[in-house]
């Protein structure tokens, strides 16, 4: 038997057989009622992941990778007179600012070191001295470092200043807790191929209906205008061709998530996997990048042991059936990353821990 390769990179993920097979569903025209039913089912199940009422919230499906959803969210939700404050502590926060600037949306960045938590005192100072802002945009799980940004205190601050939150939830939606109502979130962007365990190609924005109604009168983009999609999708249509096979996969993956106990059960499963990885690596003398309490359950970073650079670590694990992920930019020489997402069995976890020992022990234990 050939063992399948397990992806431990932050998406795309290892698929379950059911999700893979779903892509072989019948050919479908996107103007037929069968497509409308498929699309409506996915939209409903996406809201159900966080128990959001359809009267106030809408999920909007787009064909593209996670960045398309983030760009659609920023360009469709910040009005012409709006101003967005972007909290950056990694690659993806910086990408939000880049998107805002390209579209000439008034934007102020609060840049942090990639290993730092958002500095609330600095954010408060900017909100009060440089405001008014209409929105704060932030990444929930900053995949650059594995940090889960604490949104509760930031949301409190935003409320005091009457500022709405826009969330990049691309690598947290489906696993981490998101209190969309309590945190005054106007919209969150995410994708099918991370914590939801489907394939790349479909991304989505979950938005407050009211926020979109008060959005941008003249859309900044033809293809990424959320108001256009919402109007069409509410009327059981789509403005553009969607990726039908990817929809099949996402629909099956959402059914599977619900059957497996929903978001909380998935987070629990990720936490158990990550605890094993952290423990195995600690025993090997490999230190995590961040303390457990500041890390997501989805992905953690680890310091490369001295004498072992990323490539031989990656290649040794790949030869044993596991794909890990490098650090970005300056972190490339210092860290490696391991994600817990995807269809991974207890036996796969046993093999992973054994593989980590085989590859790393010669470097750290003489
Ligand atoms: C993966 C990811 C994205 C989007 O990346 P794509 O390659 O466009 O799918 C955006 N934000 C975060 C936090 C991510 O982890």
Instruction: pLDDT band for 215, please (50, 70, 90 cuts).
Output: confident
Whether the CB of 269 sits within 6 Å of ligand 1: no
pLDDT tens-place string over residues 39-54: 999 999 999 999 999 9
Beta carbon of 316 within 6 Å of any ligand 1 atom: no
What value does the mean pLDDT take over residues 276-301?
98
CA 202 – ligand 1 centroid, Å:
12
**Cα(244)–Cα(332) distance, rounded to whole angstroms?**
36
Ligand 1 pocket residue status of 143, Cβ below 6 Å: yes
Q: What is the pTM of this model?
A: 0.97
pLDDT tens digits along 238-277? 999 999 999 999 999 999 999 999 999 999 999 999 999 9
Place of tokens 């934007």: 107
pLDDT over 90 percentage in the chain: 96
- Give the pLDDT band of residue 216 (cuts 50, 70, 90): confident
User: Separation of 245 CA from ligand 1 center, angstroms?
Assistant: 21
Cα(20)–Cα(174) distance, integer angstroms: 19
- Whole-number pLDDT of residue 2: 58
Q: What is the pLDDT of residues 150-203, one digit of tens each?
A: 999 999 999 999 999 999 999 999 999 999 999 999 999 999 999 999 999 999
pLDDT digits (tens, 9 = 90+) for 304-314: 999 999 999 99
User: Which atom of ligand 1 is found nearest the CA of 171?
Assistant: 15
User: Which atom of ligand 1 is least distant from the CA of 142?
Assistant: 13
- Residue 191, ligand 1, Cβ within 6 A: yes
**CB of 139 closer than 6 A to ligand 1?**
yes
Distance 227 CA to ligand 1 centre (A): 22
Cα 213 to averaged position of ligand 1 atoms, centre (Å): 26
Q: Is the CB of 65 under 6 A from ligand 1?
A: yes
Confidence check: pLDDT of 222 > 90: yes
Rounded-to-integer distance, Cα 16 and Cα 73, Å: 30
What does the pLDDT read at residue 259?
A: 98
Bigger pLDDT: 2 vs 11: 11
Q: Is the pLDDT of residue 217 over 90?
A: no
13 CA distance to ligand 1 centroid (A)?
13
Model confidence band, residue 79 (pLDDT cutoffs 50, 70, 90): very high
pLDDT in the model for residue 366: 59
Q: What is the mean pLDDT of the chain?
A: 96
Instruction: Please report the pLDDT score of residue 4 as a whole number.
Output: 86
Please report, to the nearest 10 degrees, the dihedral formed by the alpha carbons of residues 295, 301, 303, 307 taken in order: 160
Question: Is there an atom of ligand 1 within 6 Å of 12 CB?
Answer: no
Residue 1 confidence (pLDDT) above 60:
no
Cα angle: 135, vertex 141, 144; to 5 degrees: 110
Name which residue sits closest to atom 6 of ligand 1, judged by CA: 66
Please write the tens of the pLDDT for every residue from 110-120: 999 999 999 99
CB 90 within 8 A of CB 188: no
Give the pLDDT confidence score for residue 336 in this predicted structure: 98
- CA–centroid distance, residue 61 to ligand 1 (Å): 16
Atom of ligand 1 nearest to the CA of 68: 8
Question: Which of 94, 169, 171, 175 to mutate to test ligand 1, by most ligand atoms within 8 A of the CB atom?
Answer: 171
pLDDT band at 38 (very low <50, low <70, confident <90, very high): very high
Residue 182: left (phi > 0), alpha (psi -120 to 50), or beta?
Answer: alpha
pLDDT at 365: 77
């Amino acid at each position: 038997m050939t063992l399948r390769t397990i992806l431990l990179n932050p998406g795309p993920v290892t698929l379950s057989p059911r999700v893979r097979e779903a892509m072989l569903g019948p050919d479908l025209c996107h103007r037929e009622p069968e497509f409308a039913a498929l699309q409506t089912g996915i939209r409903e199940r996406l809201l159900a992941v966080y128990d959001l009422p359809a009267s106030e919230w809408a999920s909007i499906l787009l064909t593209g990778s996670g960045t398309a959803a983030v760009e659609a969210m920023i360009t469709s939700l910040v009005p012409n007179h709006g101003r967005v404050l972007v909290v950056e502590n990694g690659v993806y926060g910086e990408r939000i600012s880049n998107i805002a600037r390209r579209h000439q949306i008034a934007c102020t960045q609060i840049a942090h070191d990639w290993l730092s938590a958002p500095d609330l005192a600095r954010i408060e100072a900017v909100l009060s001295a440089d405001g008014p802002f209409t929105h704060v945009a932030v990444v929930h799980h900053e995949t650059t470092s594995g940090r889960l940004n604490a949104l509760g205190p930031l949301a409190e601050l935003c409320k005091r200043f009457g500022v709405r939150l826009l969330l990049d939830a691309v690598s947290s939606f489906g696993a981490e807790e998101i209190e969309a109502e309590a945190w005054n979130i106007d919209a969150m962007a995410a994708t099918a191929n991370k914590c939801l365990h489907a394939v790349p190609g479909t991304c989505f924005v979950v938005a407050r209906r009211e926020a979109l109604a008060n959005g941008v009168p003249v859309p900044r983009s033809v293809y990424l205008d959320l108001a256009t999609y919402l109007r069409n999708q509410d009327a059981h249509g789509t403005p553009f061709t969607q990726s039908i096979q990817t929809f099949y996969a996402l629909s099956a993956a959402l059914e599977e998530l619900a059957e497996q106990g929903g978001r909380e059960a998935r987070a629990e499963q990720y936490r158990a996997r990550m605890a094993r990885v952290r423990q195995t690596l600690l025993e090997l003398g490999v230190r995590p990048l961040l303390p457990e309490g500041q890390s997501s359950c989805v992905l953690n970073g680890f310091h490369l042991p001295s004498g072992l650079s990323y490539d031989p670590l990656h290649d040794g694990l790949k030869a044993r059936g596991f794909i890990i992920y490098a650090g970005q930019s300056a972190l490339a020489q210092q860290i490696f990353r391991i994600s817990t997402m995807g269809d991974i069995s207890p036996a796969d976890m046993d093999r992973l821990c054994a593989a980590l020992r085989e590859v790393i022990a010669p470097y750290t234990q003489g």
